[in-house]
Amino acid sequence: MAAPEAYTIAQVPLVAHSFSPDRSAIALSTNSNEASIYARDGYEWQPISTLAQHDKLVTSIDWAPTTDRIVTCAQDRNAYVWTKEADPSNPSQIVWKPTLVVLKINRAATQVRWSPLENKFAVASGARSICVCSFDEEMNWWASKQLKKPIRSTVLSIDWHPNNVLLAAGSADMKARVFSTFLKEIDKKPPANVWGDKFPWNTVCGEYNSPGGGWVHAVGFSPSGDALAFAGHDSTITIVYPAAPAVITLKGTNLPYLTLTWTAEDALVAAGHDCQPVLFSGIPAGWKAICSLDDANGPRSSSFASSASTPRSATGPGGGGGPPVGRLNNAAFNRFREADSRGTSSIPGTPSSPGGSGLFGGSPTSGVGGDKELLTIHQNTITSVRPYEWGPNGNVTKVSTTGVDGKLVLWPVSTSGGLAPKMMIR
Amino acid sequence: MAMDFRKINIDQYDEDKLLEEELYEPDPRDPETVLAEAKQKAAGVRGFISKGDIVGALSSILENAPYGPKVDDAKIITLQSLLLILNSTKPVDIPAIIKALPSDAHDTLMKYLYKAMAMPGYADVNSGALLTWHEKVRTYT
């Protein structure tokens, strides 16, 4: 199994991320009112564009894979749809042109997602509503319609069903709901499925409680749409199969999950305050946690610091730009590199020198001991996990995570749907 | 003062504001029933303790614990019985007892531990015992 690829993109939290369709670029929110696009450059990510139009923190970004448009939403109660255009002054460059979407909400927007057919997008907001926006050809603008009842508090997360009409929403009123967002100008009547047969606008096809009473941070439909998973702040993950009918609750003993994504019809990856993604797998009869994708004892690729953000990155022999293989990719090498760049060591018997040694005396991390680092790759909460790569059978083979530590990590996920014991492959 | 308007809680005037009661399923039993049940359980607990059956005592007091508004008396009675149980248990036995309880009971027990910790001078609140129980429940789950 390949090792996870870790990149330190910024020294600030990465609130949201979304990859371009070919995965050569990533749009990120760097905890500010600008969204940035970074492009892959060898083993690093370089900033190439800035999407600066919002007045407040950009809370969510989604990059549509087929139509190549980006939608961003922010705490300034607005959303913008960005389309690519050639720069008039420099035709070989591309520029992203924003189009304002008037959402008519009086609180911050929390998450935005394109629908599967990319003709609509939904914006979850703190105004206790979800705005479903579609393009009105006649007026040449994005019109928004709000789903309000029976939401009683901020909507924290949303996920689309493959039929382009049903939308799952997790809210701070401790409930996960499935809504119909049927718009008669845009959608064709969807065929009956496990969630119901009639879907007029704002129908609630299902409402589920978080078992211990916690905000529902993340929701997700399975690839077929026949199951719904949601993660609550009470450290539980619940999977609902309306057809069975079955509601399976997994009570965790660890910190709550903030984000999840399905990797196969019977597997999902959840991540959050524990700073590591965990794989869960199961069937309507039962689910369980399989393993963490972050195996502290396995081979690790050395973290690559983006040169734009850390001017004094560790450029020891092969440390900054080499491929993550061989003798340079192990715990012993990392220890010596830590000792060199941070002036501290976790090697028994060696005196640590908090003042920094040699070349990197002025490093901003001098004084932080090696043992203050977490054993996981992410050093802080993971804010977002999204599918990165698919295998030949349609299952997700890699997921990407971004966290409050400013890192982007790509994790390989077992290709056989999660039921094959991942531990045996090491 | 001109600046005091900033301290007004405008959400209290919102017709559609979120009430705490909307966030959970209301207890189907009415307050008198809950109070009677709590008193009954308190009496039962004394019996369990005299027989030395701590697991039985805890299971009965933690099951269907009173919650919601209007049942504060029942909550106090339940807390007092629970404190009695916790104080009568030898520290050595605690891990085995916790293991024997269902996981829902662990959650309710934790809630009562925190409730008791918030009242340090109250009746038989023994902070040392509370901390021991807290640590054992935490390490078990």
* Cβ within 8 Å, pair A213-B23: yes
* Cβ within 8 Å, pair B22-A173: yes
Q: What is the pLDDT of residues B30-49, one digit of tens each?
A: 888 888 888 888 888 888 88
Q: How confident is the model at residue A342 (pLDDT cuts 50, 70, 90)?
A: low
Q: Look up residue A196 and give its DSSP letter.
A: B
Q: Look up residue A81 and give its DSSP letter.
A: E
CB neighbours of residue A191 within 10 Å: 8
Check CB contact of B11 with chain A, cutoff 8 Å.
Answer: no
Check CB contact of A149 with chain B, cutoff 8 Å.
Answer: no
**Which residues from A are below 8 Å from B103, CB to CB?**
251
* Cβ within 8 Å, pair B23-A251: no
Return the structure tokens found at B58.
């805890």
Exposure on the CB side of residue A66, measured as CA atoms within 13 A: 7
Amino acid at A364: P
State residue A65's pLDDT score: 94
Q: How confident is the model at residue B95 (pLDDT cuts 50, 70, 90)?
A: confident
Q: How confident is the model at residue A330 (pLDDT cuts 50, 70, 90)?
A: low
**Which residues from A are below 8 Å from B139, CB to CB?**
none
Residue B98, Cβ density class (10 Å: 0-12 exposed, 13-18 middle, ≥19 buried): buried
A352 in Cβ contact with A369 (< 8 Å): yes
* Cβ within 8 Å, pair A213-B141: no
Residue A186, Cβ density class (10 Å: 0-12 exposed, 13-18 middle, ≥19 buried): middle
What is the rounded distance in angstroms from the CA atom of residue A384 to the CA atom of residue A15? 7
* Cβ within 8 Å, pair B18-A153: yes
Check CB contact of B24 with chain A, cutoff 8 Å.
Answer: yes
Q: For residue A150, is the peptide bond before it cis, meaning its omega torsion is within 30 degrees of 0?
A: yes
Q: Which of A152, A213, A251 is the closest to B18 by Cβ?
A: A152
Phi, psi of B56 (to 5 degrees): -60, -45
CA A361, A363, A366, A371 torsion: positive or negative? negative
What is the rounded distance in angstroms from the CA atom of residue B66 to the CA atom of residue A210? 20
Exposure on the CB side of residue A252, measured as CA atoms within 13 A: 24
* Cβ within 8 Å, pair B22-A212: no
Chain B residue with the nearest C-alpha to that of A174? B23
| pLDDT > 70 fraction of chain A, expressed in percent and rounded | 80
A413 in Cβ contact with A396 (< 8 Å): yes
Return the structure tokens found at B43.
């009496």
Q: Look up residue B6 and give its DSSP letter.
A: G
Higher pLDDT, A259 or B67: A259
In total, chain A counts a number of residues equal to: 426
Residues 76-115 of B with CB under 8 A from A: 103, 107
In total, chain B counts a number of residues equal to: 141
- Please tell me the least confidently modeled range out of A17-26, A283-292, B117-126: B117-126
**Which residues from B are below 8 Å from A213, CB to CB?**
23-24
**What is the residue whose two structure tokens read 């029976």?**
A150
Average pLDDT, chain A: 82
Chain A residue with the nearest C-alpha to that of B139? A253
Residue B128, Cβ density class (10 Å: 0-12 exposed, 13-18 middle, ≥19 buried): exposed
Check CB contact of B17 with chain A, cutoff 8 Å.
Answer: no
Q: Which of B18, B25, B141 is the closest to A173 by Cβ?
A: B18
What is the rounded distance in angstroms from the CA atom of residue A99 to the CA atom of residue A140? 10
Distance from CA of A253 to the nearest CA of B (A): 6
| Angle, CA of A273, A279 and A283, to the nearest 5° | 130
**Which residues from A are below 8 Å from B107, CB to CB?**
212
Return the structure tokens found at A150.
């029976």
State residue A425's pLDDT score: 31
Query: pTM for the full model?
Result: 0.80
What is the rounded distance in angstroms from the CA atom of residue A32 to the CA atom of residue A12? 9
Chain B residue with the nearest C-alpha to that of A209? B24
Strand order in the sheet with A166-171: A155-160, A166-171, A175-180, A204-209
Higher pLDDT, A241 or A320: A241
Chain A residue with the nearest C-alpha to that of B19? A152
Q: How confident is the model at residue A420 (pLDDT cuts 50, 70, 90)?
A: very low
Q: How confident is the model at residue B76 (pLDDT cuts 50, 70, 90)?
A: confident
What is the rounded distance in angstroms from the CA atom of residue A328 to the CA atom of residue A65? 36
- Please tell me the least confidently modeled range out of A71-75, A269-273, A276-280, A294-298: A294-298
A272 in Cβ contact with A255 (< 8 Å): yes
What is the rounded distance in angstroms from the CA atom of residue A189 to the CA atom of residue B109? 50
Which value, to the nearest 10 degrees, does the dihedral of the CA atoms of residues B71, B73, B75, B77 take?
Answer: -150
* Cβ within 8 Å, pair B18-A209: no
Check CB contact of B40 with chain A, cutoff 8 Å.
Answer: no
Check CB contact of A393 with chain B, cutoff 8 Å.
Answer: no
A237 in Cβ contact with A245 (< 8 Å): no
* Cβ within 8 Å, pair A173-B103: no
Chain A residue with the nearest C-alpha to that of B25? A209
* Cβ within 8 Å, pair B22-A174: no
On the question of pLDDT at A88 being above 90, the answer is no
A128-150 average pLDDT score: 92
| Most trustworthy range by pLDDT among A206-220, A361-375, B8-22 | A206-220
Return the structure tokens found at A354.
């908090």
Check CB contact of B22 with chain A, cutoff 8 Å.
Answer: yes
